[in-house]
Structure 1
Amino acid sequence: MTRIFRFAPSPNGELHLGHAYSALLNSDLARAVGGRLLIRIEDIDRTRCRPEFEAAILDDLAWLGLDWEQPVRRQSEHFDAYSKALETLRLMDLVYPSFLSRGEIRAATADPAWPRDPDGAPLYSGLDRDLAAGEAAARIASGAPYAWRLRMAAAIDRIGPLRFTEHGSGPDGETGDVTADPGRWGDVIIARKEIPTSYHLSVVVDDALQGVTDVVRGEDLFHATSVHRLLQALLGLPAPIYRHHGLVRDAAGRKLSKSEGARGLAALRAAGATAEDVRRLVGLAPAQPTPST
């Protein structure tokens, strides 16, 4: 079986060294096993994602020496596929519309002892989880903002225990045959009123539709894999092999991020850096030729 890898950036800023490491690692692993490399543009956030960033990302990836298959998949062109998955979950009564504002959520979870998800955010209070169907429908019809949330406890009860195969490691060294623990995330957002999907939903749908066999990404997404395994099981989708890698960090030990102004590849290129310089900076060996078949 041909193995299929993917690199899936969001076009909401420039690529930095952390992105370069993940992209190059996906490329190297695909090349080593004679596999395929796909590029997916995760642009469901239409307020932050911009065409000029997508163009710059593809230019940087080509400069790094990546060779990927065409066409590039853009999530914004496939909302119908995500809507169908959402409808499947809705018909199973495993999602509900939540209407609490951000301020109401903060007020409901202000207690320092309130449980938090693996990213440190307070779990959703679920105050509107059991709204009568008629009241929820009336609020939607009135134009009230809402998000579709997963009934986490019901979903877990429906599926039972889940595991996934980890060929890298999580932030606490988890590797091998790992027990999924989606309950740590509470009632996660699956879609919104204006966008019929979320990162969690679209990523599992896309991986299945594209036949991805190997998901190689940063360890900061390790715990999210538990949610993805649950959605895969609910929707009858295959589970890829996962490989979570360490993060490229700055001098203060913080992971590189667009929001913190991490230096982009474009700036490195402008300063005269080469693709091999980038490989060295992120700790990868020089590029190897594609194995002959």
Structure 2
Amino acid sequence: MSNVIKLAVLIIGALLIALIVRVVVASVSHPSKAVVKTQKVRVSAADLPQGLLLRDEDLAWKAVPAGSVPTGAIVAGASDALELKGALLRHAAAAGTVLSADDVILPNAPGFLAATLKPEMRAVSVAVDDVSGNAGLIQPGDYVDLLLTQQMDRRTDSPDLAVSSETVVEHVRVLAVGSEIQRPKNGDTPDALGRRARTVTLEVTPRMGEVVSVAARLGSLSLALRSFATDSRGPLAAASTAAAQPAPVWAGDISRAVRELPRSRQSQVVAATTPAPAIVRPVTIYRGSEKSETSAAPAANDGAPPLPTLPAGR
């Protein structure tokens, strides 16, 4: 009986050892996946040039391991996370580059407007109203053209040339609208920035600044918003202008009535100033018994009745 018990104990021990070995082998062949904690950090959504005023489209979130978050990175959900929208990019950034506070100049930082200007560029302000300023929809960072409209009626007698409009400056960047140099956040109405603004500050070359100053004296200025989807977003894109300037648009180019007005008025003036055809009356001259007839030029008073003729027998 003791041998049977010993045999049973050996069998049970062997089974336990086999079970332990099986569990160990299974754990080695199928290791459990460790859960890696990640955090989202701010990165550039595309290749961004130096000096760019950042928009929502320029920024993205990227998940990285929590232990690999770069120093100074902006982490989603952090209480001290900076808002990079509207900030100025200090240097060029490739797509996917992690952005930090050292990579940008925030709008509320001292000297932000001067830092926004590209090398050799100037800031010039123009007066606008709700109509010429696109009803406050133009915001800092947008690109615009500057249109000059002039009343020429005091400089010409031709109705065709009474009003002219031309583009004097092309593709310039808006630096500020009123006193605001930051784009509104999502959900804000344009009234908070642009609708009540009376000035718009543009980034121009020194030559463009002179053109804008003279244009402001010649007539009224209007802003034409350009598409932000340009071929180049480099630092020199705003300073480039078209090689051939388009011809001005005149009143006669737009209105058919204005084009026809000079001819109708000219015909009226010609009709009023052209003298009526002269009426030549015969004159009978008697010399004794001889009678002769001749023509005479009309008298000054062309409306006077003709002189009576003498009887034939006299």
Relative to the length of structure 1, the TM-score reads 0.20
Higher helix proportion: 1
- Of structures 1 and 2, the larger Rg is shown by 2
Relative to the length of structure 2, the TM-score reads 0.19
Q: Which has the higher contact order (CA 8 A, sep 6+)?
A: 1
